[in-house]
Structure 1
Amino acid sequence: MTDATDVTGDLAGIRDAVSVRLPAASAYLSVLRTATAGLAARLDFTIDEMEDLRIAVDEACAMLLRHAVPGTDLIAEFELTGQEMSIRVEVTTVGIAEPKRDDFAWMVLTALADDVDAVSSPDHMAIVLRKRRGAARPA
């Protein structure tokens, strides 16, 4: 879905939203990494920024897949707005509150993305990543 609100074609006025649904199994994560890099390229992210996002998405999915109900799907929603990409990855779970925010994987996520958050309900868990083009990493 593309909504061009700026008739000049300036990326600042374009909002793209892409959803990808895959089986909740690590064998399919290469598809998601490729989609992530392709969408980041659309926003003219640098090679390093694209690689950061690919690794962050892979790490977020690995965290979620540990808790996914077998036979369900992993859903990834990408939103591209101006110079920012927001990625929400979600799985169906049973009785898991949210990802651990004090483990190494969470530290990797916070180092690679500008913003990281976890959202959960009794039967779903999601991680939301945001990355802005050209944003300086925290020291």
Structure 2
Amino acid sequence: MASIGAQTGSATSHDGGRADVELRLPADSAYASVLRTTTAGLAARLDFPIDDIEDLRIAVGEASAMVLPEARPESDLTCRFYLRPGELTVQISVPVDQAVTPDQDSFAWQVLTTLASSASAEASNGIFSITVSMESGLPGGGI
């Protein structure tokens, strides 16, 4: 298993927990807008401010752009959303043929870790995942 991560806040771990929302799409960049729009809608539901929603939407777009080229042909991208008051965690996963780790010096990874409260990547058992968490800039937040 290979994994890397960065954390700027105190995001909660959701390892093994049941997702509040799960979205499965063809692993094709043509569907990235569906993923970004779903993310923005859920962040709005949590009463995130507009700036945080846009940052999270961009971070999720970068994460999907990083996992999609590694996906097996004709496979699905799975996105799990974990909603907590004031926090949204998004895990984007694709099946892969070999272990992958993103380049931590890449522009995409730098954007991802700058915009999100935390970001991590993991490759295990033929699945490559990037997890992004965002904590709202406002106190509270609804579900």
TM-score band, normalised by the shorter chain?
A: 0.7 to 0.9
Once the two structures are TM-superposed, the CA of residue 18 in structure 1 deviates from its matched residue by: 0.3
The CA distance in 2 between the partners of 1:104 and 1:31, in whole Å, is 23
Higher relative contact order (CA 8 A, sep 6+): 2
CA deviations over 1:95-121 (Å, ceiling 9, x no partner): 133222221110000111000001111
Q: Does structure 1 residue 32 correspond to structure 2 residue 32?
A: no
The counterpart of 1:47, out of the listed 50, 63, 66, is 50
- Aligned counterparts, 1:75-94, within 5 A: 75-94=78-97
Structure 1 unaligned spans of 5+: 1-15
Runs of 4+ in 1 over 3 A off after TM superposition: none
| RMSD of equivalent CA atoms | 1.6
Match of 1:5 in 2: none
Matched, 1:109 2:130: no
Instruction: Provide TM-score, normalisation by structure 2.
Output: 0.80
Give the TM-score normalised by structure 1.
0.83
Percent identical residues:
49
| Equivalenced residues, count | 121
Instruction: Determine if the alignment matches structure 1 residue 61 to structure 2 residue 76.
Output: no
